[in-house]
């Protein structure tokens, strides 16, 4: 069982998949009602109907469950491809904003970052998850390059990271809600900067 990946997707209707769905749903519900720090494996067992020893064998810790939940929730975000770079950026900004504005997702992110401060394994998972998200969205930039909207040597990952950064600064540092203005200014700032060549590779970009 331990060698099996946590997705349990080999048999979508199987017991493993049902167990995962029940536990992640329980975690998702719990985070909508209380903060990450209040979550325990016992509470997840009670909410999901899955035995606590099964949860512990599969995910080891609450952090492990929450990381798996993040992976599942993130994969429901699609990557815009409207044929227009500016429109794609605004659409991606809206989806990142919506994701981070849901109380349970805020609790999830705040809990993950807290877990990472106390646990090197949590730090690694956090990094890998978000580097993976950036990679998934990079085609927005590469398509814009292909259409001639951006300089050919624009760094796609830098652009996506620049778009995402203001949302996490708002949630983790300023601890405030995300409003329509943040969505608009984040998308538009990256659009203007990318068009001006700010994210071209080293030694090509403008400076003061």
Residue 78 or 82: the one with the smaller Cβ distance to a second copy is 82
d(CA 44, CA 55): 8
- 87, 86, 44, 77: which is closest to 62 by C-alpha? 44
- Residue 127 beta carbon to a second copy: minimum distance, rounded to whole angstroms: 4
Nearer to a second copy, 50 or 156 (CB): 156
* Tokens 């106390």 -> residue: 118
CA distances for 97 relative to 34, 86, 89, 93, angstroms: 21, 16, 12, 6
Give the nearer residue to a second copy in terms of CB position, either 43 or 86: 86
Q: Applying CB under 8 A, which residues contact a second copy?
A: 35-37, 84, 86-87, 90, 110-111, 113-114, 116-118, 123, 126-127, 130-131, 158, 161-162, 164-166, 168-170, 172-176, 181, 184-193, 196, 198-199, 202, 205-208
Structure tokens, 38? 């209040």
Q: Which is nearer to a second copy, 79 or 110 (CB)?
A: 110
Matching residue, tokens 């599969």: 58
Cα(179)–Cα(183) distance, integer angstroms? 7
What phi and psi values does residue 71 have, to the nearest 5 degrees? -60, -45
What's the closest the beta carbon of residue 116 comes to a second copy, in angstroms?
Answer: 7
CB of 115 to a second copy, least distance (A): 8
Least distance (Å) from a second copy to the CB of residue 157? 10
Contact status, residue 105 vs residue 147, Cβ threshold 8 Å: no
CB of 207 to a second copy, least distance (A): 6
């Amino acid at each position: 069982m331990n060698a099996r990946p946590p997705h349990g997707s080999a048999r979508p209707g199987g017991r493993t998949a049902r167990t995962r769905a029940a536990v992640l749903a329980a975690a998702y519900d719990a985070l909508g009602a209380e903060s990450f720090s209040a979550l325990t494996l016992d509470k997840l067992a009670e909410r999901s109907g899955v035995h606590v020893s099964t949860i512990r064998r599969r995910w080891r810790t609450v952090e492990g469950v929450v990381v798996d939940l993040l992976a599942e929730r993130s994969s429901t975000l699609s990557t815009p491809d409207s044929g227009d770079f500016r429109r794609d950026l605004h659409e991606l900004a809206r989806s990142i904003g919506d994701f981070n504005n849901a109380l349970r997702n805020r609790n999830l992110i705040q809990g993950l970052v807290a877990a990472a401060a106390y646990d090197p394994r949590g730090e690694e998972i956090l990094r890998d998850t978000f580097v993976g998200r950036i990679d998934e969205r990079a085609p927005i930039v590469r398509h814009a390059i292909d259409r001639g909207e951006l300089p050919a040597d624009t760094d796609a990952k830098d652009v996506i990271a620049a778009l995402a950064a203001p949302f996490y600064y708002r949630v983790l540092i300023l601890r405030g809600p995300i409003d329509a203005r943040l969505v608009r200014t984040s998308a538009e700032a990256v659009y203007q900067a990318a068009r001006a060549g700010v994210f071209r590779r080293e030694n090509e970009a403008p400076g003061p």
